[in-house]
């Protein structure tokens, strides 16, 4: 249920609605848009007719709208304007196209520092890198842990690039939050509800990857877990879904980009590296993602992909990343996006 307040409603009228909800055992989530204020009341559909009438009688209330979609806080109905998330000087979800780039996993100082410098020089806005890595096999590299976070922090110190990294365990959230600017919840954890609750209680943006067999509705419901805990800074990331096609590692579902823009106010970026699993497909799919309306990209870059401890096959070299950024600029312009890429 959504309570839409009148355009010119007063502060007190809003708190009165919240108070009345609270007396009925409900909780209202406030959304102050540019044009008007909207109050999301979760968990009460179908709403009782009495409650609806009672609320519509309150001063300042324009209308009470039942919602049939199972997600609310993440829906376009709840918040018509795009959510724009600020990370230092970078805006995600606005006119600017955001490029997050870096190695799959932080491995060595040399690797992290050289990659950070290279992606910054080519025009990336945010540095990505994994310290805690989920791995299908217990015998594979699982990341450097806090050591990896320290390497990333050093790279941020030098380049000024904000950081995004994955967090795997609820108990690591606090530690990771100290080092980085955006917390990533990986595809395998999209329905790890304990972790979603935890990152929902943090005051940092969360990058929520789509689960490999998650429908768009389930994905928005996972976002809803985070939003419902109070953290409104969620960035969605399409990274491919699992299908019968096995030439690619996953099937990148670019339809998700305009669908999310239609259903939700949250920004959506695309990860063509995991989405295809092959470096030579990253560039064409990155261009396609931007043309489809993505708010940004997440790209794996590695100084020597052949010797990467993780996911080398899908990483771009510095040179290939630079070439991609050069190709990206005119496509971004063609769809009226700003991009901070250096001229070739």
Task: Give least dist CB 110 to its own copies, A.
Answer: 24
Identify the residue among 95, 158, 258, 338 touching its own copies (CB under 8 A).
Answer: 258
**b/e burial code for range 140-177 (CB count within 10 A of at least 16 → b):** eebbbeeebbbbbeebbeebebbbbbbbbeeebbebbe
Place of tokens 């990209």: 297
Which run of H or E residues covers position 325? helix 318-334
Span 213-242, contacts to its own copies by CB under 8 A: 213, 215-218, 221, 224-225, 228, 241-242
Task: Give least dist CB 339 to its own copies, A.
Answer: 12
Q: Return the range that interacts with its own copies (CB under 8 A); candidates 12-20, 86-94, 146-154, 289-297.
A: 289-297
281 interacts with its own copies by CB under 8 A: yes
255 interacts with its own copies by CB under 8 A: yes
How far apart CA 240 and CA 306 sit, in angstroms, is: 23
Task: Give least dist CB 58 to its own copies, A.
Answer: 23
How far apart CA 121 and CA 318 sit, in angstroms, is: 10
Span 89-128, contacts to its own copies by CB under 8 A: none
Span 125-184, contacts to its own copies by CB under 8 A: 134-139, 142, 168-171
Contacts 24+ apart (CB under 8 A), 92-96: 92/205, 92/235, 92/267, 92/269, 92/295, 92/296, 93/235, 93/266, 93/267, 93/295, 94/295, 95/336, 95/337, 95/338, 96/125, 96/337, 96/338, 96/339, 96/340
DSSP secondary-structure letter at 262? H
Strand partners, 206: 183, 234
334 interacts with its own copies by CB under 8 A: yes
* Binding string, residues 179-218; x marks residues near its own copies by CB under 8 A: ---------xx-xxxx-----------------xx-xxxx
Report CA-CA distances (Å) from 224 to 10, 59, 208, 231, 286.
28, 29, 11, 10, 27
Provide the CA 330 distance to its chain's centre, in angstroms.
25
Task: Give least dist CB 83 to its own copies, A.
Answer: 18
Nearer to its own copies, 159 or 177 (CB): 177
330 interacts with its own copies by CB under 8 A: yes
Nearer to its own copies, 161 or 234 (CB): 234
Q: Return the range that interacts with its own copies (CB under 8 A); candidates 18-26, 101-109, 154-162, 275-283.
A: 275-283
Identify the residue among 159, 248, 317, 340 touching its own copies (CB under 8 A).
Answer: 248
Task: Give least dist CB 305 to its own copies, A.
Answer: 18
How many residues form the binding site for its own copies (CB under 8 A)?
Answer: 67
Residue in 72, 76, 53 with CA at minimum distance from that of residue 64? 53
259 interacts with its own copies by CB under 8 A: yes
Q: Which two tokens stand for residue 116?
A: 């950070």
Are the C-beta atoms of residues 78 and 41 closer than 8 Å to each other?
no
Nearer to its own copies, 52 or 210 (CB): 210
Count the Cβ atoms, other than its own, within 10 Å of residue 246.
Answer: 8
344 interacts with its own copies by CB under 8 A: no
Place of tokens 């690039």: 161
- Taking the CA atoms of 303, 102, 273 and 255 in sequence, report the sign of the dihedral they define: negative
Which residues of this protein are in contact with its own copies, per CB under 8 A? 42-43, 70-71, 134-139, 142, 168-171, 188-189, 191-194, 212-213, 215-218, 221, 224-225, 228, 241-248, 251-255, 257-259, 262, 275-276, 280-281, 284-285, 287-293, 327, 330-331, 333-335
């Amino acid at each position: 249920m959504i309570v839409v307040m009148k355009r010119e409603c007063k502060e007190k009228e809003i708190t009165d609605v919240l108070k009345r909800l609270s007396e009925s055992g409900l909780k209202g989530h406030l959304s102050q848009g540019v044009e008007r204020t909207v109050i999301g009341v979760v968990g009460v559909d179908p709403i009782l007719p009495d409650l609806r009438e009672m609320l519509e009688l309150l001063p300042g209330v324009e209308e009470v709208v039942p919602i049939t979609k199972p997600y609310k806080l993440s829906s376009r109905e709840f918040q018509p304007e795009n959510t724009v998330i600020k990370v230092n000087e970078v805006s995600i979800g606005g006119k600017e196209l955001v490029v997050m780039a870096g190695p799959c996993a932080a491995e060595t100082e040399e690797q992290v520092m050289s990659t950070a410098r290279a992606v910054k020089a080519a025009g990336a806005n945010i540095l990505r890198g994994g310290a805690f890595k989920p791995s299908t096999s217990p015998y594979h590299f699982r990341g450097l842990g806090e050591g990896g976070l320290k390497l990333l922090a050093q790279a941020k110190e030098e380049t000024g690039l904000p950081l995004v990294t994955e967090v795997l365990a609820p108990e690591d959230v606090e530690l990771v939050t100290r080092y980085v600017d955006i917390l990533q919840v990986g595809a395998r954890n999209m329905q790890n509800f304990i972790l979603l609750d935890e990152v929902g209680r943090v005051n940092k943006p969360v990058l929520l990857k789509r689960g490999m067999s998650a429908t768009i509705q389930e994905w928005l419901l996972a976002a809803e877990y985070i939003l419902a805990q109070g953290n409104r800074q969620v960035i969605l990331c399409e990274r491919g879904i699992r299908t019968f096609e096995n030439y690619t590692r996953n099937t990148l579902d670019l339809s998700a980009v305009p669908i999310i823009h239609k259903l939700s106010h949250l920004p959506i970026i695309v990860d063509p590296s995991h989405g295809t699993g092959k470096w030579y497909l990253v560039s064409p799919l990155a261009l396609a993602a931007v043309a489809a309306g993505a708010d940004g990209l997440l790209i794996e870059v590695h100084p020597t992909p052949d010797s990467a401890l993780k996911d080398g096959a899908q990483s771009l070299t510095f040179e290939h990343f630079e070439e991609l950024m050069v190709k990206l600029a005119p496509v971004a312009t063609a769809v009226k996006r700003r991009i901070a890429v250096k001229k070739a």
